A and B are shown apart, each in its own frame.
Chain A
Amino acid sequence: MGVDIGGTFTDIVLETGRAGTAGQFSTKVLTSYGAPEDAILAGMMQVCEAAGCAPDAIDQVIHGTTLATNALIERRGAKTALITTQGFRDVIEMRTESRFEQYDLNLVLPEPLLPRQQRYTLAERVDAHGQVLLPLDPAEVEALADRLIKAGYESIAIGLIHGYANPVHERMIADILAQKMHGVMLSLSSEVSPQMREYERFNTTVANAYIKPQMKSYLGRLKDRFAENGMTGTIFLMHSGGGIISLEDAADFPVRLVESGPAGGAIFAADIASRHGLDKVLSFDMGGTTAKICLIRDGQPKTARVFEVARSYRFKKGSGMPISIPVIDMVEIGAGGGSLAYVDAMNQIRVGPESAGSAPGPACYGRGGVRPAVTDADLVMGKLDPDNFAGGSFALQTQTASDALNTHIGGPLNIDAQMAAFGVAEMVDENMANAARVHAVENGEDLADYTMIAFGGAAPLHAGRICEKLGVERLIIPPSAGVGSAVGFLRAPFGFEATRSVYMRLSDFDGESVKSLFAALEEEARAFVRSCDAHADIISHCRAYMRYVGQGWEIPVPLSPAQISEPRADAYKAAFEAQYANLFGRPVDGMDVEITIWSVNAQTPKMASDTLDALGDQTQAKASGERALFDAGLGTAAQAKIYPRADLTAGQVLDGPAIIVEDETTIIVPASRSAICLADGCIAVTRKGEGA
C-alpha cells in the first residue's frame, strides 16, 4: 500500500498481485492535520474494502509525506537549541549576506528557524583538514548542559565548523548531553549532512532537530494505529532522494523526508519511462498551486545534493532555506490550476505564485472568487467542460470566469475574455517551458529528443501546449495520474545515499584514502538498505563531485567499479573532463582538478517493469461529441472532438484538436498533435505524422 500525505489530500493506493498488473485500488481522503494517521486509516479501510481484503493482508506500507516540509514552512517544530563553534553563532541567520531580490528596498529576509538566544556556542575549533586547533573542554559542555536543561529544550542540533571533516567534538558534546539530558533528541551535523559549507549543513541539522520530536511521535503513533487495526506489515518511508528507508531511520533523520511526495511522483514517471523503454524523459507534475519538473535519464531521476524549502518571496530562489541532503532534482514553479493572474505595470500578464486555493477557489467555482485563476482561463478556452468537472461533482460557472478575466485582464489590455484566457494560459505554459529549458541547460541536456510524462490534476490540460513550445515530440499521460506519487512509492527501491566532504586535488591524489573513503560510505549506505531488507542484492553507484581548482560549482561525476577498486588520478580526470565537456561544451586545458564531495548510493535493484503488450491494428476512436476549443498553437478557436478516456481501447487513435475527458482531469490534444491509446492505458500524444 502506498500512502502519500499531501497538503489537501491523502492518497492511498493498494496493489494486489504482481506490481502494476493485477489489482490497483486507490482513494483520496482529505488530509487530517491534527492526526494525519486518521486519514490514512480511513483510506486504508476504503481500499481494503474495494479490494475485498482485510488490513492484515497488507505486506508492506510505503509512506511519503509533506508533513516534514509543512512543519518547516509553518514553523511548527519542537523547542530546539543549536550548539555551535564560538564565533559562529549567526551562521544560520547571516545566510549568504545577500538579497534574493535586487530591486525591493523593503525586502524582508526570512527569519532563521531558531532565534539567536536559542543558539549557544562552545570554545573549540577543528581546521579544514580535520585537525583540532582548539580542544573542547568537557567542563564547558557540562555547564552548557545545565543551562539547556533549565531552558527545557526537547531537541538539540550540534553543528561545529569543519565538523564534517572531524566529528570528534560533535560526538563529545553528544555523549555528554545524552548522559545529562535524558530523553533529549540530538542531531549532529556530521551525521545529518556531512558536507562542507557551514550555512547549508547547520541549517539542515537544525531543520532535522526542529522536526524530529514531532515526526518521531507521529511515526510511532502511525505504527501503533496500524497494528491496532490489524495491519502488521512492515512500514517504510519514502525519502527525498527517491529511495525507501526504514521507519526507525526515518525517525532519526526526518529531514530526509522533506519533499518525499514529489520524489514519489518522479519515481512514478521513471517507472513508466522504463516500461515504455524511454531513456530520456521530462516529468511534469502540475497540481493546484505548484508545478514540478524533473529530468529522468535511463529510468533514473536526476539527483542533487542541496535544495531549498519554504521559499518566502514569490517562490524566488534564495528566499527559502537550504537543505543539503541527497534529493531528486526538481524545479518547482509557483503556478498551478488555482494560481491567480493579473496585469502588471508593464501591461504584461502575470500568473502566480498567489493561489486561489480551495476557498474561495477560482472564480468559476462560484464560491466568491472574483480574480481569474488558471482554471478560469482553461474553462473559457473550452478546455474544461463546465458540467463535467471533477466527475460532475459540481458545475463550473463560465460566466463568472469570463467576468473575472474581463475585469482583471481583458479590460486593462483592451482584449476580450477569450483572448485574455489565451494570454493567461500562454503565460503559464511559457513559464513552465522556460523553467524546463533552463533546467535542461543546467544539466547539459537538449529537450528535443525527450518525451514528457505528465501527471497531476492540471498537467494534462497544459502539457500538450508546453510540448509544442519545447519542441518535445511525444507526451505520455498515464492512468492514475491523480495519485501518481503514491503509485510511485510502490515502485521505489530500498535505497540510501551517503555523502561526505573530503577535499582532494588530483595533483595530490591519494588512491588509498579514496578507496577507504568509498568503503566507509558504502558501508554506511548499505546499512540503511540492510535494515529494510536483509537479503536483497544491493547495487552501489559511486560519484565524486569535481571542479577545476578556482571554480565554485562542482559537477557530479559517476565512477565505474574499476575507478572505485583501483582509483587513479588520470582516470578521474578523464571522467571529469568528459562530463564537463557534456555540460559546458569544452574542457579547459592546463587546470588542476579538485574533488570536494564523495557519494555512494546503495539500492536494491529496481523492480522489473512490465513490458507492454504489442499494439494491434490502429483504429479510429469514436467521439462522443464536440465543442469549441481555443487552440493556442493556431491562435484561434476550432471545433474539437470529445472522447471519454474510459471508452478508449489499446490501439485507438484520434487527431487534435481533441479533448479526452476523465473524472480527475482532461487531456487536451492540440491541433498539431494526434493521440493513441497504448496497451497499458497510457495516452501518447505525438506530433501529427510522427506516429506513436
Chain B
Amino acid sequence: MNKAASSVQHQVMWNRLISIVEEQAQALIRTAFSTSVREAGDLSAGVYDRAGNMLAQAVTGTPGHVNAMAAAVAHFIRRIGYDNMHEGDVYITNDPWEGTGHLHDITIVSPSFHGGALIGFFACTAHVVDIGGIGFTADANSVYEEGLYIPIMKFADKGAVNQMLVAMVRANVREPDQVVGDIYALATCNEIGHKRLIEMMHEFALADLEDISAFILSNSRSATLVKINALKPGKASGEMVIDGYDRPITLRATVAIEKDQILCDFAGSSPVDAKGINVPMVYTEAYACYALKCAIAPDIPNNAASLAPFVITAPIGCIVNAPHPAPVALRHVIGHMLPDTVYGALDQILPDTVPAEGAGTLCNFQLSLRPRQDKALTNHGPNNSGQRAEVLTFNSGGAGARPTLDGMNATAFPSGVMTMPVEATEHAGPVIIWRKELRMDSGGAGKYRGGLGQYMDVAPAQGHECDFSAMFDRVDHPARGRHNGGNGAPTTIALDDGTKLKGKGKQPVGAEHIVRLGFPGGGGYGNPKQRDSQLVKRDLARGYISEQAARDDYGLSDADIAAVADMIARGEAV
C-alpha cells in the first residue's frame, strides 16, 4: 500500500479509536448503578498508547475528567511499573489527586496486550453511589472523613480479582452491591474497548499503536497550535467572588496567550477552605482547560497532544490546588465556577467570544426522607407507607448570554449533565415535586438576555419528613452581566412559611412543609436598551419577562405591551 493510502488508513483508525471509546462509555452508562453516571453522564472513558499518552476520549457529561483522565494513566504506570503488568490485570484507584478529584470517583485502568506485548491502556472513571465516611457532602474537615481511600493498586492480577480489596470495599460503603457492581461495570467496559481495539489491530495488521499514536498526536498538536497562533497574544486577569461554604471565596484567573501555548494561572484565589469544597489540581486543570478549549479549539478532540498547549497552574495551598489531606468531596461546586472565572480574563483579550457569567454550579440537592417522627402515620397511601429513601436530583440554572445569542434557559454549563424526569424522581422515594418551571425575570437583562433559572417546589410526601441537603451557590453572588448587561437573579431558598434556608449543608424539613427554590439566572450581554424590540415582545409573550421588566429594563411602550397581551389572548406566536 502506498503512502497516500496509508494516510487514509490512519484517518480511518483514528475515527475507529474514537468510536471504540464511545462504545466503551455507552457500555458503562447502561450498566452503572450510580445515578450520576447513568442519568447524568458523570463518567469518562479513554484509550492510551504504551507510554500513557491519551489517544482518544469519549465525550461524556462531565468536562471534569478531561485532563484528569489524560494524566491518570501516567500515575498508574509509575506506581505499578511495566515489569509488574500482565495480561488479565486490572488496576484501580480513587485517589483524588491521582484520579479525578474526589473519593467518589473510581478510576479503573486495564493494560491491553496484543501478541503477548503491552500495546496500550484503557481507562474509565465513574462516580459511585457511596464511598463510606461522612457521605456526599461538604461537611468533612479532611479527606480522611470523606470515605475509603484506595491508592493505586491491582484490582485483578492476571485475571484473579483481589478479593481482599473487594471485602474492604464492601465493609466500608453503604451500598456494597451497587458499588462493587459499578467497579465490575468499569472493568467490563475496558474489556469491551480492548476487544474492539484488538479487532482493529487484526484488520489493519498492526503490531502496536506507535504509528497511529504518532499520527494522532502530531495532527492534534499542529491543529491546536494553528488555532492558538491565530490569536492575538495578550495577558489579562479576571476575578469572581462566590458564596463558598460559610465564607465568600475569591477565584482569580490570569490568562496569557503566547506563541504555541496558553497559560492560565489561579494565583490570588482564596486559600484552602475548612470544608469539603476544595479542588485538587487535576480537577482545576480539567475545568480551566475545558473553558479554554470551548472558546479556542472546540472541534479538536481531546488527547494528550491537543490538551498539552493549555498550561494550567495554581499555587499549592489555594482552594483550586488543595493538597492532601484537604476535604474535596464537593470539589465540583468550585470547579463549575472556574470557566466563568477564566472567561472574565479571556474576554479582555478575545472580545466577542465568551459568554457572560451563568449559574455555573449545578443546582443539586439530596433529600433524606423518612416517616414523620412527630406523630403516628395517618392517612398515607397504601404504596407509600413509611418509606425511607435517599433522593438526589440534578437541576440547572440559566446560562450566561452570548455575544450574539441569549443565554440558554435552565441548561447546565459547564457541566453537561441531564436532569431526571420528575415522574422518575417521585418513583424513587416519598417526595412530591409541586413545581419545576422557568423563572420569570431571572435572566439578566441585556442586548442578549441571560438564560432563565427555574423554580422548584419540593416536599416530603404525606406522612414523611426529610433532611434537605443543599449544594447551591449564587445566593449572595449572582451571575454578573457583561458589557452593560444586567446580573442574573440570585438563588433563593426558603420554606413555604417564609423561613430562610442556607445555600449549603443539611437542614431539616418537617412534615407538611414545602421547600421553595429559585435557581439563578445567567448574566445579560450588552446594553438592554439595544435589544431588538421583537425579541422583547417575544419574551413578554412567553412570560420570560414581566410587563414591568419589559417597560423598565427594555423600554417597551405601554401600547406594545397591550398589543402583546392581545396576541396572547388570540393564541398567537410572536
Check if B410 sits within 8 Å of A97, measured CB to CB: yes
Q: Which residues of A contact B43 (CB under 8 A)?
A: none
Q: Residues 120-156 of chain B: 1 if any A CB is under 8 Å from the residue's CB, otherwise 0?
A: 0000000001000000000000000000000000000
Give the distance in Å from the alpha carbon of A87 to the alpha carbon of B432 in the complex: 12
Interface residues as binary, B1-29 with A (CB distance below 8 Å gives 1, 0 otherwise): 11011111101101110010011001101
Residue B279 at the A interface, CB < 8 A? no
- Stretch of A26-34, A434-442, A665-673 contacting B (4+ beta carbons < 8 Å): A434-442
Indicate which residue in A86, A427, A441 contacts B192 across the interface (CB closer than 8 Å). A441
Contact of B226 with A by CB under 8 A: yes
Give the residue name and chain of the B residue nearest to A116 (CB): B542
Interchain CB contact under 8 A, B11 and A348: yes
- Taking the complex as formed, is B437 at the interface, i.e. its CB lies under 8 A from any CB of chain A? yes
Q: Which of A91, A99, A427, A635 contacts B11 (CB 8 A)?
A: A427
On whether the beta carbons of B5 and A345 are closer than 8 Å, the reply is no
Check if A503 sits within 8 Å of B571, measured CB to CB: no
Q: Is there contact, CB below 8 Å, between A427 and B437?
A: no
B355 and A161 contact, CB distance less than 8 A = no
Inter-chain CA distance A150–B31, complex, in Å, is 51
Residue from the list B223, B396, B427, B571 in contact with A196, Cβ < 8 A: B427
Q: Which residues 397-411 of B have a CB within 8 angstroms of A?
A: 402, 404-405, 408-411
In the complex, the chain B residue whose C-beta lies closest to that of A165 is: B423
Give the residue among A131, A152, A551 with the most B Cβ atoms within 10 A. Answer: A551
User: Which residues of chain A are within 8 angstroms of B11 by Cβ–Cβ distance?
Assistant: 348-349, 423, 426-427
Chain A interface: which of B92-100, B295-303, B493-501?
Answer: B295-303
Among the 9-residue stretches A106-114, A236-244, A535-543, A607-615, the one with 4 or more Cβ atoms under 8 Å from chain B is A106-114
Chain A residues lying within 8 Å of B80, measured Cβ to Cβ, are none
Q: Which of B219, B416, B426 contacts A162 (CB 8 A)?
A: B426
Q: How far is the CB of A243 from chain B (nearest CB, A)?
A: 28
Give B52 Cβ to nearest chain A Cβ, in Å.
Answer: 22
B541 to chain A: which residues have CB within 8 Å? 115-117
Shortest distance in angstroms between B511's beta carbon and chain A's nearest beta carbon?
15
Cβ of A60 within 8 Å of any chain B Cβ, yes or no, is no
Considering the complex, which residues of chain A in the window 406-431 have a beta carbon less than 8 Å from any beta carbon of chain B?
Answer: 413, 415-416, 419, 422-423, 426-427, 430-431
Is A347 among interface residues, defined by CB-CB distance under 8 A?
yes
- Expressed in whole angstroms, the minimum distance between the Cβ of A669 and any Cβ of chain B is 20
**Which of A516-524, A526-534, A586-594, A597-605 is the interface stretch?**
A586-594
Q: Which of B16, B32, B434 contacts A434 (CB 8 A)?
A: B16
Q: Are A107 and B381 CB-contacts (below 8 A) given A431-B15, A438-B22, A584-B30? A: no
In the complex, A117→B23 CA distance in Å?
Answer: 41
B354 A87 Cβ-Cβ under 8 A: no
Contact for A441 among B2, B27, B29, B33, CB less than 8 A: B27
Chain B residues near A588 (CB-CB < 8 A): 177, 181, 184
> A122-130, A271-279, A354-362: which lies at the B interface?
A122-130
Closest-CB distance, B23 to chain A (whole angstroms)? 5
| Cα(A200)–Cα(B420), bound, Å | 12
* Complex: A664 Cα to B395 Cα, angstroms: 52
B343-365 CB contact bits vs A (8 Å, 1 = yes)?
A: 00000000001110000000000
A512: interface (CB < 8 Å): no
A375–B44 alpha-carbon span in the complex (Å)? 37
Within 8 A of B (CB), among A70-122: 79, 81, 86-91, 93-94, 96-99, 102-109, 115-118
Residues of chain B lying within 8 A (CB to CB) of residue A347? 219, 223
A590 near B177 with CB under 8 A, answer yes
Contact A97 B571 (CB under 8 A): no
Q: Is the CB of B417 within 8 A of A87?
A: no
Is B39 an interface residue, CB under 8 A from the partner? yes
Within 8 A of B (CB), among A578-636: 583-586, 588-591, 635-636
- Min CB distance A45 to B, Å, is 41
Separation in Å of the A75 CB from the closest CB of chain B? Answer: 10
Contact across chains for A87 and B59 when beta carbons are under 8 A apart = no
Bound Cα distance from A400 to B30, whole angstroms: 47
B contact residues, range: 35 or more
Produce 1/0 per residue, B560-574, CB < 8 A to A.
000000011111111
Contacts of B432 in A (CB 8 A): 125, 127, 133
**Do residues A430 and B16 form an inter-chain contact, with CB atoms below 8 A?**
yes
Report A631-660 CB contacts with B as 1/0, cut-off 8 Å: 000011000000000000000000000000
* With A105-B402, A438-B22, A441-B27 as contacts: A635 and B227 at CB distance below 8 Å: no
Q: Is B527 an interface residue (CB 8 A)?
A: no
A94 near B16: Cβ-Cβ < 8 Å: no
Quick check: is B313 within 8 A (CB to CB) of the other chain? no
Q: For B11, B295, B408, which residue has the most chain A Cβ atoms within 10 angstroms?
A: B11
Any chain A CB within 8 A of the CB of B172? Answer: no
Are B461 and A127 touching (Cβ within 8 A)? yes
Complex CA distance for A212 and B534, rounded to whole angstroms: 30
Please state if A199 and B421 are interface contacts (CB–CB under 8 Å): yes
Measured as residues with beta carbon below 8 angstroms from the partner, the interface class of chain A is 35 or more
Known interface pairs A117-B542, A197-B424, A588-B177. Does A152 touch B570 (Cβ–Cβ under 8 Å)?
yes
**B residues near A469, Cβ cutoff 8 Å:** 203
Q: Which residues of A contact B405 (CB under 8 A)?
A: 106, 108
In the bound complex, residues from chain B placing their C-beta under 8 Å from that of A437 are: 19, 23, 196
- Asked whether, in the complex, the Cβ of A105 is within 8 Å of the Cβ of B298, the reply is yes
* Nearest CB of chain A from residue B471's CB, rounded to whole Å: 16
Distance (Å) between the CB of A151 and the closest chain B CB?
3
Is B35 an interface residue, CB under 8 A from the partner? Answer: yes
List, in ascending order, chain A residues with CB within 8 A of B71's CB. Answer: none
Within 8 A of B (CB), among A220-240: none
Query: A412–B212 Cα gap in the complex (Å)?
Result: 20
Q: Which residues of B contact A99 (CB under 8 A)?
A: 408, 411-413, 416
Given contacts A104-B298, A105-B402, contact A117 B571 (CB under 8 A): yes
Task: Kindly list chain B residues whose C-beta atoms are within 8 Å of the C-beta of A426.
Answer: 8-9, 11-12
Does residue A153 face the partner (Cβ distance < 8 Å to B)? yes
Residues on A with C-beta less than 8 A from B416 are 98-99, 102
CA A431 – CA B22 in complex, angstroms?
Answer: 13
Q: Is A376 an interface residue (CB 8 A)?
A: no
Task: State in angstroms the CA–CA spacing of A611 and B32 once bound together.
Answer: 45
> Inside 8 A of B394's CB, which chain A residues have their CB?
97
Complex Cα–Cα for A551 and B175 (A): 13
Is residue A574 within 8 Å, beta carbon to beta carbon, of the partner chain?
Answer: no
Say yes or no for B294: interface residue by CB 8 A criterion. Answer: yes
Tell yes or no: B557 within 8 A of A by CB: no
Residues of B within 8 A of A162 (CB): 423, 426
Does B61 count as interface, using CB distance less than 8 angstroms?
yes
Alpha-carbon separation in the docked complex, A222 to B411 (Å): 44
Is A52 engaged at the interface, CB distance under 8 Å to the other chain? no
A320 to chain B: closest CB distance in Å? Answer: 15
Chain A residues with CB under 8 Å of B250's CB are none
- A590 closest partner in B (C-beta): B177
Query: Which A325-367 residues have C-beta < 8 A from chain B?
Result: 344-349
B132 to chain A, nearest CB (A): 17
Q: Are B454 and A94 in contact (CB under 8 A)?
A: yes
Say yes or no for B198: interface residue by CB 8 A criterion: no
Is the Cβ of B19 less than 8 Å from the Cβ of A89? no
Cβ of A90 and Cβ of B438 under 8 Å apart?
A: yes
CA gap between A419 and B3 in the complex, in Å: 10
How many angstroms between the C-alpha atoms of A365 and B453 in the bound complex? Answer: 51
Does chain A have a CB within 8 A of B366? no
Output the nearest chain B residue to A200 by Cβ-Cβ distance. B421
Interchain nearest-CB distance for A616 vs B (Å): 37
**What 5 A-B pairs come out closest when comparing CB atoms?**
A151-B571, A87-B435, A552-B38, A103-B298, A116-B542
21 contacts between A and B (CB under 8 A): A87-B433, A87-B436, A94-B409, A97-B410, A97-B411, A105-B355, A115-B573, A127-B381, A127-B461, A162-B423, A197-B423, A347-B223, A349-B11, A415-B4, A423-B8, A430-B15, A434-B16, A434-B19, A438-B19, A585-B188, A588-B181
Given contacts A127-B384, A588-B177, 15 further A-B pairs with CB under 8 A are: A99-B412, A102-B416, A103-B299, A104-B298, A148-B571, A151-B571, A151-B572, A200-B421, A345-B226, A345-B227, A345-B297, A430-B12, A430-B16, A441-B23, A635-B8
